[in-house]
Amino acid sequence: MPGWCAPLYFKALLIGLLLGLLLSASASAHDLVTSRAVLVDPDGDLDIEGAAASEFKDAGSILVGGFTDAAYWLRITVRAPRDGGTFELRIRPTFLDEVALYEPDPARPGAWLRRVTGDRHANPGRPATTLGFLMAPLREETTYYLRLKTTSSSLLVVDALEPAAARADDVGRELMHAIYLGVMLSMAVLALLGFINLRSRLAAVYLLYLATQTASFVGLNGYLAHFIPVPYAHWGDTITSLLVMGSVATGVLFYRHLFRDYAASALGLRVLDVFLLVFIAELCLMGLGQTRLALQINGNVVLLLSALAPVIALSMRSGPERERRIICGLVWLQAGALAIMMMPLLGLLASRVEWIVDAPLSQGVVAAAVMCAILHQRTRGLVEARRHAEMEMKMTHSLLDAERKRAAEQARFMDMLTHELKTPIAAVKMVFQLPEASDSARRYALTTLDDMDAVVERCRQLDLLQQGRFTPRRESCRVDALLAEILASCPASHRLRLATGPLCDIESDRHLLKIAIGNLVDNALKYSAPGSDIDCHIERCEGGGQAHIRFSIENQPGAAGLPDPDKLFEKYYRSPHAHKHTGSGLGLYLVRHLAELLDVRLSYDQVDQRARFTLWIPA
């Protein structure tokens, strides 16, 4: 749920629940029942005459008897409505098997009329949220008897309401039920999204829990009666019992998966496994007709779970500590709600407040909210783990790509060395194997050795550059003086036509700048047409508010042709027809990086089918 809509969502939920409670409380304030008394029939064999003659004990607004074979008789006195009209006798909860109403027969004094309701009986005209009867008062105050016999917990609340108050009570309860179903549906959507996005088994089990919890809510509140055909009305009781036990089993299953994921105590997980086996035993008991015993065992499982779940939660060892603290606190909260709900239902604790009748509803909301919060924490942890894994995977891929590039570069380097050094070495060996080598052969051998030395020097310079060991040390120098030094050691310097203008000293690294200019001169001499002139210009120019020394060198291409402008400055690049010359493919690559290191701008142009390289050196 987005953070901005969560406060609005819970405010609307709170307002809806308060409105429903206010409507229900307002209806209860108009209760026409003036007195209540209870009688316990341990053997369940009393008839109305025997019960009417027995001694009753005063009772509160709610009867709590737990799971028992006994029948309960409730005697109520109801005053007539002010207008003398009809009233509704409303009986809750709706999951009671059979409630018989005995009312005085106006045609036969001393005789009784009997009517029956319950989830084993068809009541097509009853309200959606309660059992009950439409009554006509006989006098100012009338006494009625109700007999309760059920396989579920003997829990009974009886109100007598005028039609308007009864409608208000219906609206309040239906509003609360609608809010409950909306909450469960929204949580189911969140769980479904978590399952789709994360493929979490925990989310799938939570969805199963929500489904059984919602279905048991529908059964416990009597809505199944509106969907079951009248001849099969007794099926409603059986289906409701199965759904109640199923909701408990799926709750245990959810806790089992949750605690396992957080590395809780192995003994605690075994206890939860036993609870799941108990569910199978409960189904067997229902098949043998022992529904009350099965439901009573199911109630005791819930009570035991409320006692053991917090202890198991404390044994969690895996997962972030903050997450475990939140989950542990929420488990304790739900355990307390379960205990408060189940003890009266099991007859272990007396209760005189009617909210215990709606405890399954409140417990369902609390349980769903708690589990949704747990799932949210778990989902957030999984999302963070997935994000971390994706980052690690991306980093691994990056390292692999870098390693592949490094391996490819090493392979290209070895190919270059193999190609560029093997032929010169063979030539030198041939010269020295001649009995008497001529002067031209010796000069060729020396030239070949110079080429090999140039290849090795380029590799050494590349290594220094990649290791960051080329650190500029600026000093005063002149570009024309550097070019003169380069040409002094160049055997073909006579081919270079130099044009200079007025120059000035510059502040740069003399050694690095000489390497860059020397590589450009060597490149022009090597790949120009044989015997052609090479034009070199050095001049001072102004541009962009700063003075520069412009150095350009231009040559007519030889057999290698003009280079590819897009690949010219790449490492190891050589044009397809340049391989007859010894070279490393590193010269222009070094020039580009040395220019960047010295804040010198480098460009390449093709002018009238001639190749021109230009350096703009800050003056």
Domain boundary among 362, 393, 424: 393
Residue whose C-alpha is closest to residue 365's, from 217, 492, 483: 217
- Assigned token pair, 589: 């690559």
pLDDT at residue number 366: 61
**Which pLDDT does position 434 carry in this prediction?**
62
**Whether residue 140 is found in the same domain as residue 248:** no
6 domain residue, yes or no: no
Both tokens assigned to 137: 């008062």
Within a domain: residue 50?
yes
pLDDT by 10-residue block (mean), the chain, 619 residues? 43 52 53 92 92 92 87 94 89 90 91 91 74 88 94 90 87 82 81 75 85 88 82 86 92 90 92 94 93 92 92 88 82 83 78 57 60 65 79 86 71 56 61 62 61 61 65 86 86 86 86 87 88 91 84 90 84 68 72 87 90 91
The predicted pLDDT at position 571 comes to 77
In a domain, 70, yes or no: yes
Domain around 487: 472-618
Beta partners for 186? none
Last residue of one domain, picked from the residues 161, 177, 209: 161
Same domain, 41 and 146: yes
DSSP string, 245-310: HHHHHHHHHHHHHHHHHTT--HHHHHHHHHHHHHHHHHHHHHHTT-HHHHHHHHHHHHHHHHHHHH
Mark which of 341, 367, 393 sits at the end of a domain.
393
Residue 332 belongs to a domain:
yes
Q: How many CB atoms lie within 10 A of CB 561?
A: 14
Q: Considering its fold, how many domains does the chain have in total?
A: 3
CATH number (domain holding residue 50)? 2.60.40.2380
Q: Which helix (H) or strand (E) holds 198?
A: helix 163-198
CATH number of the domain that residue 583 is part of: 3.30.565.10
